């Protein structure tokens, strides 16, 4: 039987699929049947040449989650000291809404770094091929490879939100991609990990659209 949905409109779903961290419920079990339902929708996404070189790893084993969580935490503490860290970006932008939104995201990111290993399910979307060290990789093969997994992963995250699950796109564990590949027996040379996405039921199901600067500041029509 299909899992119950929240009954969000399309626009509500698209505007409230937020990065959920502090409101992830670590205690409530996430059945594999709801993950499978979301997977059915994930694989409706487009891929270059319809090649479908995607693979999705789901980690539920507590020991493996703890090990991956520890790598994530290590990576996060390295990132935290970088100039591009969310803690520093837009910190004094002059746009007080943007500064406040960044401060909230930073505090939320700190929380997730401390608890990644406790999230009931960790998803690692993977794609055949590597963009980092393959000779002759041009912009089309790079964007083609990444673009053949990211829409599917986002489809999954939207399907999850529709069913009361929270997720967050993270990539910092990739500093230790090889180590995580070893834990999960992912063939590192042939398959690239794209993200580490925590999945849990959310504490409460109401989420608001995030603050974003006016769309005119990022839109161009006919010329840059
Ligand atoms: C490519 C990419 C990589 C990201 N990596 C991380 C990460 O490693 N850790 C993290 O806490 N947030 C990461 N984020 C940020 C969050 O997923 C999220 O977009 C941000 O906190 C804003 O939250 P909102 O989308 O709910 O407004 C990443 C987002 C993207 C798109």
Centre of ligand 1 from the C-alpha of residue 10, in Å: 22
pLDDT exceeds 70 at position 119: yes
pLDDT at res. 93:
74
pLDDT tens, residue by residue, 170-219: 999 999 999 999 999 999 999 999 999 999 999 999 999 999 999 999 99
Residue nearest to atom 7 of ligand 1 (CA): 170
pLDDT at res. 114:
98
| Sequence-separated (6 or more) residues with CB below 8 Å from residue 106 | 85, 86, 87
Mean pLDDT of 137-149: 92
Confidence of residue 134 (pLDDT cuts 50, 70, 90): low
pLDDT tens, residue by residue, 12-32: 999 999 999 999 999 999 999
Query: Position of tokens 């399910």?
Result: 121
pLDDT at res. 98:
83
Other beta carbons within 10 Å of 217: 8
Are residues 146 and 56 in contact, defined by beta-carbon separation less than 8 angstroms? no
The beta-strand segments (E) located in 102-223 are: 121-128, 165-167, 191-193, 197-201
CA distance 3 to 163: 7
First-to-last alpha carbon distance for the chain, in angstroms, is 50
- Predicted TM-score of the model (pTM): 0.95
CA distance 126 to 139: 19
Ligand 1: list residues with CB < 6 Å.
Answer: 18-19, 105, 109, 112, 168-172, 210
Centre of ligand 1 from the C-alpha of residue 2, in Å: 29
Are residues 28 and 118 in contact, defined by beta-carbon separation less than 8 angstroms? no
- Phi-psi map region of 204: left, alpha, beta (phi>0 left; psi -120 to 50 alpha): left
**SS3 label, residue 192:** strand
Pocket test for ligand 1, best of 160, 170, 196 (most atoms within 8 A of CB): 170
């Amino acid at each position: 039987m299909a899992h119950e949905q929240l009954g969000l409109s399309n626009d509500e779903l698209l505007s409230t699929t937020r990065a959920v961290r502090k409101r992830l419920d670590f205690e409530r079990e996430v059945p594999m049947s709801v993950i499978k339902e979301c997977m059915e929708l994930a694989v409706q996404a487009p891929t270059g040449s319809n090649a479908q070189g995607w693979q999705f790893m789901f980690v539920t084993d507590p020991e493996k989650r703890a090990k991956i969580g520890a790598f994530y935490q290590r990576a996060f503490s390295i990132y935290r000291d970088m100039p591009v860290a969310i803690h520093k970006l837009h910190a004094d932008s002059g746009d007080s809404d943007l500064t406040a939104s960044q401060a909230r995201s930073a505090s939320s990111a700190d929380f997730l770094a401390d608890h990644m290993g406790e999230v009931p399910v960790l998803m690692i979307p993977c794609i055949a091929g590597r963009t980092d060290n393959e000779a002759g990789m041009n912009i089309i093969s790079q964007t083609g490879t990444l673009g053949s997994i990211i829409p599917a992963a986002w489809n999954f995250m939207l399907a999850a939100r529709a069913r009361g699950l929270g997720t967050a796109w993270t990539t910092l564990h990739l500093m230790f991609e090889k180590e995580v590949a070893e834990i999960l027996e992912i063939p590192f040379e042939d398959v690239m990990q794209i993200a580490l996405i925590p999945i849990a039921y959310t504490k409460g199901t109401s989420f608001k659209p995030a603050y974003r600067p006016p769309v005119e500041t990022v839109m161009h029509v006919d010329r840059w």
